[in-house]
Structure 1
Amino acid sequence: MSDAANKSAKHEQAIIVNVAIAVIYHKEQYLLGFRHAAQHQGNRYEFVGGKIDTNESAEQAVIREVAEETGIAIQDNTMVKLGRLHHDYGDKQVSLAVYKIELTAAQYKQHKPCQHGLEGQALAWVDKGDLLAGKYHLPAANKTILTWLSLPTNIAITYPLAHFSAHPDPAAAWLQYHQETLAADTWIYIRIKDTGAKNLAAQLMDIRPDILAIVPEQDERQSLTTEDSTKMPDVNASEQIVANHLTHAALMQWFDGNFDSNKDAFASDQLLSHDRPLIVSCHDIASIRAANKLANLRLQQVLPPVIAAFLSPILATQTHPNTEPLGWESWSVLAQLADMPIIGLGGLSPAMIDQVLAHGGVSVAGIREFL
């Protein structure tokens, strides 16, 4: 047997450990444990969690592990699924089911003084900013979780350029409107829907250096089309871009073009060499499965992750009046199937974040109610 075949066989025989992870927090403080040097991936900080027992759900395992390790009872707290991660350490493969749990003020006050868990492990409450900045050394499988935690609770979406078509200069009107109405330090999905006005995204980011932007994935491959494009800021070079967005149609085109029912192979393409995190759009179970496949392949190739999925529409919208909404229950079922955090979209307002959290999402997004 060749070396490659031996490696493949060993990979298939590697033990897969199913683990439930609890990201416990109160406001900007997050709870970490510290792994003993003798443990696998020792001398690292980690989120609370442990192995999922046979005939035990991931949710049950999270509640049990948190109680056993810290004494915190979270069965009555809101538990939001962030996603699932599959990581190969070589000698061991792990599948992590990750949940985010917010403690009440009383729970935080009671447990904050505890410097050690019930199993003797060191515990630390750390600032979210320090955690996201990488000041705490985590196992490799946990690093994507930090990207997930960077997601805000609200994401605004720009109006398309056509919304300002009645104005003598639609581009100028679009730019002025969004420049003046965007909240400070917000995440914004810049969706112009006009390839000839791509430079507007760069201009908006140049004028508003405080915003963090999501831009359409195809913008990475398109050149500016205006005659004076060399004088415009380059959207592709902007450090304000936190993710590229992949439409439902583009996601399914990629999936249908690379997979079939008889094999689990994929072609090397731009979605598997993209150097920015991705946010995808999903509307049904087929697109959720495609998003999961894309997310898993990007993790295998150590690429920036799929950090979230817009799942829509929850409710009826003015933008797509003829599209039947999913409704809360069906939306929640789909959200539970996703391997990445879910952003609620379609007929929502920022005030509906608690309803989104209760049904399995982490954020809300929209246009009219968010600008």
Structure 2
Amino acid sequence: MKRVHVAAAVIRGTDGKVLIARRADSQHQGGLWEFPGGKVEPGEAVRDALARELYEELGIVVSAARPLIQIKHDYPDKQVLLDVWEVSSFTGEPHGAEGQPLVWVTSRALADYEFPAANQPIVAAARLPGEYLITPDGLETPQMLQGIQKAVAGGIKLVQLRAPNMYDPKYRDVAVDAVGLCAGKAQLMLKGPFEWLGDFPAAGWHATSAQLRKHAANGRPLPADRWLAASCHNAEELALAEQMGVDFVTLSPIQKTQTHPDAQPLGWEQASELIKGFSKPVFLLGGLGPAERERAWDIGAQGVAGIRAFWPEV
């Protein structure tokens, strides 16, 4: 069965809202919501196909777009490759040129709409930022909380509370305060035993590679409305993350780092190959910062994760 190549768009308005369209009842997966786009013709460049489809479907002319995520998905009756781009600028007023209903929704509200199964990673990618802050090790509690507060005030939207050398009761106390600091402003990801999941209902969870190996066969330990991520370093761990049903991963190390000087870096080329085989958002980690974000986007990553590069001076 030939895989159908489709170009799709996460179209953002100036207010940050995302445009989605409802599929006609007569279509494959009819009645569900989707991100606008259509088939890539043989020999056609993906960006050209996207521009053509969006003009035909919505009457808009794309002026700025970048790759967001590539997803391979197998339905019982067809196989698709979704080549998804984020469109950040366009001219014209979008309208359903083919009679399809359109709606502008906030990133957070995307989770309330029903999409085809292949679109779920796009929903995740559209809701996630391009930067993922991981807290530094060895800080005292006041410094840790002050830094999180300052980072969130500075626009960071995704924070992992990582403190590997902090003993459990202290970590849990800091986590309670961090949940409060992030509430309504940023998504907090905690680390620790899955037995703690019920104690922090507002937080997402970031599984270690050891937890992936131990628990992936049991499936997803969290309900769908809570974020689940995992640390991955190779194709085997990415496959386990897929099995566990995570929403996104970090892939590391891309370059040599101070925190893990002995770890062999993957490099950009190998990272690119690993991303191509994985249909979920990927944050690249290890010696990277805001300056590498566009390069990460170019190879299909969601963005970059980092400790020092994103941690504010406190």
State the TM-score, normalized to the length of structure 1: 0.67
Q: Which runs of 5+ in 1 are unaligned?
A: 1-14, 165-172, 222-233, 255-266, 299-304
SS at the partner of 2:29? coil
The answer to whether structure 1 residue 349 and structure 2 residue 311 are counterparts is no
List per-residue Cα deviations over 1:55-93 (Å, max 9, x = no partner).
8787776555445434556597322225444455xxx35
1:124 matched to 2:84: no
Q: Is the 8 A contact 2:132 2:159 kept in 1?
A: yes
When structure 1 is superposed on structure 2, of 355-364 and 18-27 the one drifting more is: 18-27
> Is the CA contact 1:33–1:121 (under 8 Å) kept in the aligned structure 2?
no
1:135-150 paired onto structure 2 within 5 Å: 136-150=113-127
The reply on whether 1:159 has 2:136 as its aligned counterpart is yes
Structure index of larger Rg: 1
Residue 197 of structure 1 aligns with an amino acid whose one-letter code is Y
Identify the residue that residue 302 of structure 2 maps to in structure 1: 362
Deviation at 1:318, TM superposition (A): 0.9
The equivalent of 1:210 in structure 2 is 181
- Structure-2 change in CA distance of 1:278 and 1:85 (3 Å): farther
Q: Tell me the equivalent position of 1:309.
A: 249
Q: Which amino acid aligns with 1:114?
A: P
Secondary structure of 1:344 counterpart? strand
Which amino acid is 1:291 matched to?
L
Are residues 1:220 and 2:194 paired?
Answer: yes
How far residue 341 of structure 1 moved from its aligned partner, in angstroms, is 1.0
CA RMSD of aligned residues (A): 3.4
- In structure 2, relative to structure 1, the CA distance for the partners of 1:332 and 1:142 (3 Å cut) is closer
Report how far residue 343 of structure 1 moved: 0.2
Aligned amino acid, residue 193 of structure 2: D
Q: TM-score, normalised by structure 2?
A: 0.77
**Selected match of 1:191 from 154, 162, 166:** 162
Residue of structure 2 equivalent to 1:45: 33
3-state DSSP class of the match of 1:352?
helix
Aligned partner of residue 77 in structure 1, secondary structure: strand
CA contact (8 A) 2:121 2:281 kept: no
Distance in 2 (alpha carbons) for counterparts of 1:69 and 1:345: 38
Give the distance between the partners of 2:31 and 2:74, measured in 1 at CA. Answer: 21
Sequence identity of aligned pairs in percent? 25
Q: CA deviation at 1:17?
A: 6.2
Gaps of 5+ in 2: none
CA distance in 2, matches of 1:237, 1:316: 36
What is the DSSP-based 3-state SS (H/G/I as helix, E as strand, rest coil) of the residue aligned with 1:193? Answer: coil
Cα distance change, pair 294–283 in 1 and its aligned pair in 2 (3 A): closer
Moved over 4 A (4+): 51-64, 71-76
Look up the match of 1:33: 21
Deviation digits for residues 130-155 of structure 1, max 9, x if unmatched? 63251x44334434432332222221
